[in-house]
Each structure stands twice: as C-alpha cells, then as structure tokens.
Amino acid sequence: MSWYYSKSILEKSNPNKMKKVIFLAVFFSTCFYVQVHAQELKSEFLFDLEISLSPPQIIGPVLTGTRLIFPFKDGFVKSDKINGKILDCSGEWGLIVDSTTFKMDVRATIKTDDGALIYITYSGYNYASAQKSALIRVGKGNELSPSEYYFRSIPVFETSSPKYAWLNHTVAIGVGRFPAPGKIIYRIYAIK
C-alpha cells in the first residue's frame, strides 16, 4: 500500500522522477551484480613442493599446545614455471593444538635450477578426526585418503630475482597430502 501511494505521488508530482527512480534502481542493481561476480576466485597451478622430513625435535608442551620441529632432509619444487631444490636449514616449527589439529609454521629456501633463491614461509592447518590425526602423527598419514583430512597452507614468497619477482605479489594456497612415511607433497596454486 505504501509503495503504491509513493508511486502515485511521484507520478502526479513529476512523471520524470518515477523514470529516474526506476533507472537508478536498475543501474545500481546491475552494478552490484557485476561487482559481486567480478570477485569470483580462480586458481592456477604453480608447482608441486615435495618434502622429506627428518625425525622431529620434540620441544613438548608449551602454552599453546605441543611444539615439534621437523628439519627438512631434502625437497624439491617442480613445474613448468619453477624447478629447484629445498636448501638445508629449512623446516617446520609445528604445533599440535589438540587431538584433531596441527598448526603449521614452515620456513624454507628454494634454490631454482637457474640459481635464483626464493624464501617461502607458510602457515596452515592439518585437521582430521582424533583417530586419523593419531595415524598422521605416527607417520602413517599415507594410509589415509586425502579426503579423510584437511591439509591446507598459505605460502608467501620473497625473492630478489627479476625472473621470479612476480612471486612477491602472488597469493597462493597449498593443498597437502602424505604420499609415504616422512614425506609431504603440496600442490601450490596461485589465486587469481
């Protein structure tokens, strides 16, 4: 009733006002639709990161959980964009938050096949039921299907190499899995 009343007042007082109101409503609806759909995320494969872990250094219970440090034995990155190896002194400073959640804190240096150095850090989570998390923690994650756990990381890159400078401004997501005891593979995607 009130809309009809407003409409008839607008039409009687100034018929062009009604046309302007309709035009503006359609215009702003279209702008909103375009803006929302322009924000859809897309991804592009960057590289696979394969890591071999050394046995953990168990710091033990701390204020936020149980701290474990996993030095990397070795590792490599592989794709049509980047190929290289993980250098010594790289590792994971992980935290067992509770019986279902492991929080990652990784720092590593990649030396590409063409000699560039790329510093990579990432945080993220490995989450599964308590029973499945227990298998992962004793090195039997490879017995599980990747659909049985959530394993995601958020890599950040730093490099002074002009060839790989685009990585400095790349938002990325890593999807992890356990292919064998003591090994982790991340498939790294750029978010477009």
* pTM: predicted TM-score of the whole model, two decimal places: 0.79
User: What residue ranges define each of the domains in the chain, with the CATH number in brackets?
Assistant: 2-38 (no CATH), 43-191 (2.40.160.20)
Q: In this predicted model, what pLDDT tens digit does every residue of 126-163 receive, in sequence order? A: 999 999 999 998 999 999 999 999 999 999 999 999 99
Residue 75, pLDDT score: 98
Of 97, 101, 94, 95, nearest in space to 129 by CA: 101
- The residue with greater pLDDT, 55 or 30, is 55
- HSE toward the beta carbon, residue 36, CA cutoff 13 A: 6
Average pLDDT of the segment spanning 17-46: 74
H/E element holding 15?
helix 15-38
Residue 34, pLDDT score: 58
Confidence of residue 10 (pLDDT cuts 50, 70, 90): low
Provide, rounded to the nearest whole percent, the portion of the chain with pLDDT above 90: 77
Residue 16, pLDDT score: 72
Rounded Cα gap, residues 12 and 17, in angstroms = 10
Asked whether the beta carbons of 170 and 157 are under 8 A apart, the reply is: yes
